[in-house]
Amino acid sequence: MFESLGLLASAPWIYALVGVSVLFDVFLPVLPSGVLVIMGATAAAAGSGAAAAGRVPDDVPDILALTLCAATASVLGDLVAYKLARRDGSLPARAIARSRRLALAQERLGAALARGGGALVVLARFAPAGRSVVSLGAGAAHSRVRDFLPWSALAGLSWAAYSVALGYFGAHWLGAGWLATGVSVLALFAAGSGAAYLMRRPRAATEAA
């Protein structure tokens, strides 16, 4: 398993790759941050199996450290995007102003945070590009950081824990190989599709009214 995944899934490389990928995928959603988290968790599961058999591999990722690394990078990335969009005249603020879709998302998010409905931030973390829209929208709407940050932290921790759990338990159930990784990635994408659908429903209802 470790030969097939290579050095990318070993510690400390996996922590660095996950941290950088998660930090910047708020601006570049195409970065494979979720896949990297799952690969690291799969390698951790393989390492625990080898340890149980009396063989302790070197450089095995720790699932708790992997979860905290992904969650922390997620919050930091959210805050960077939030701070940039909060500045009037910044590139993200101008992009939101030019896009009717982003402007509408900004209005919805600002209203949701104001009434304590920050669960939208958690839901958006799983949707493709949802994190980008929410973080930039919260900044452009000048939402208070104390309204946004706790939900961002909950979103990052939920997403990180879910991704790590997929890789770790998938490897235990299906074997620590590419099949487990592939199934776990599909499950992550399925959760993202479901989150995107749920995020579209309120908007569709509003537009229909």
CA angle 204, 205, 209 (to 5 degrees): 115
3-class SS of residue 97: helix
32 preceded by a cis bond (ω within 30 of 0): no
pLDDT of residue 115: 64
C-alpha–C-alpha distance, residues 11 and 110, integer Å: 39
Q: What is the mean pLDDT of each run of 10 residues along the chain (209 residues)?
A: 50 86 91 91 76 56 93 96 80 66 66 69 88 84 86 95 94 79 90 84 43
CA separation, residue 130 to residues 105, 108, 178, 196, 208 (Å) = 10, 13, 28, 8, 22
3-class SS of residue 7: helix
pLDDT of residue 209: 35
C-alpha–C-alpha distance, residues 71 and 45, integer Å: 19
Judge if pTM exceeds 0.75. Answer: yes
CA separation, residue 20 to residues 1, 34, 36, 37, 198 (Å) = 24, 12, 11, 12, 29
pLDDT of residue 2: 43
Structure tokens at 52: 């149980």
The pLDDT tens digits of the residues spanning 64-87 come to 999 999 999 999 999 999 998 888
